[in-house]
Amino acid sequence: APFLLVGLLGTLIVPLIVFFIPPMTGHMREKRALRDNLDVLTRILKDRRQRNALFFSGMVMMGHFLIIPFINPFMELNNGFSRSVTPNIYLVGGISSFFASYILGFLADKYGKLLVFIICVLLSLFLVYGITNSNGISFPVILFMFAIWFIFSTGRGITAQAMISNVVPASQRGGFMSFNSSIQQLGTSIASLVAGFVVIKLPDGKIHHYDWLGYLSIVILLGCAVLAYLLFRNSDRAIVVSSTSTAAK
């Protein structure tokens, strides 16, 4: 049913995109055809900064997605919450993300994407630990924890993708970001595979080692914070200088 709903929404959204979203072709004024369809890939593989940015993107998604596949089983089997109430976790998280995305985007533009990313990563670590070690906590507290976790996860995602998109010129951004989407899917796939190997089911029906996924997620996200600093510490400054020069002209 969810997949059918996504397909239905797609058929409704596509006409709206065609009629209301203006084409963004200003960066394509240079009519230069690619020699072949592998040019985008070879260009990425030859550029160390682009390779590092893609590795960073995959690791962010992996660190985020490690704990997601077993959220429902852990909440139902280990914490005893009914399957009828656990979907509220995603409802509260989605609402929180919806309102937080605008605020976090504004803060990223004002104070720098790297700063907001690192703050969101560091604050989210406490939530990752709390969620994967939540035994005997009331459901309202669980909802609150997930709401905050979704907010920080949204902040991580928004700022990470903004920093990643700026490692290539605008004329190459479409191909690069398409490849980046594939790397993100690879990151989530690896996270799901690792989670499946780590978590085991006990004879009483409860799942075990979910906290291990939390610890692994914390380590990966800390590594992402360090990697982000090494890769993007001058990005915001460069963008500000470029924008100022453009405005002066």
pLDDT at 88: 93
pLDDT at 243: 45
> Which of 239 and 187 is assigned the larger pLDDT?
187
> Which of 40 and 94 is assigned the larger pLDDT?
94
- Report the phi/psi class of residue 81: left, alpha or beta, with left for phi > 0 and alpha for psi in -120 to 50: beta
Q: Give strand pairing partners of 219.
A: none
Distance (Å, rounded) from C-alpha 147 to C-alpha 183?
A: 27
pLDDT exceeds 50 at position 159: yes
- Report the phi/psi class of residue 246: left, alpha or beta, with left for phi > 0 and alpha for psi in -120 to 50: alpha
Summary mean pLDDT of the chain? 87
pLDDT at 244: 45
pLDDT exceeds 70 at position 29: no
Mean pLDDT of 97-104: 92
- Residues 192-222 pLDDT 10s: 999 999 999 888 888 999 999 999 999 999 9
pLDDT exceeds 80 at position 40: no
Mean pLDDT of 136-147: 92
**Given the structure tokens 């994407």, which residue do they identify?**
113
Q: What secondary structure does DSSP assign to 35-91, as a single string?
A: SSTTHHHHHHHH-HHHHHHHHHHHHHHHHHHTTSTTHHHIIIIIT---TTTTHHHHH
Distance (Å, rounded) from C-alpha 150 to C-alpha 96?
A: 7
Q: State the pLDDT confidence band at 185, using cuts at 50, 70 and 90.
A: very high
pLDDT exceeds 60 at position 30: no
Q: State the pLDDT confidence band at 172, using cuts at 50, 70 and 90.
A: confident
Is 205 within 8 Å of 83 (Cβ atoms)? no
Q: State the pLDDT confidence band at 45, using cuts at 50, 70 and 90.
A: confident
pTM: 0.83
pLDDT at 237: 59
pLDDT at 135: 85
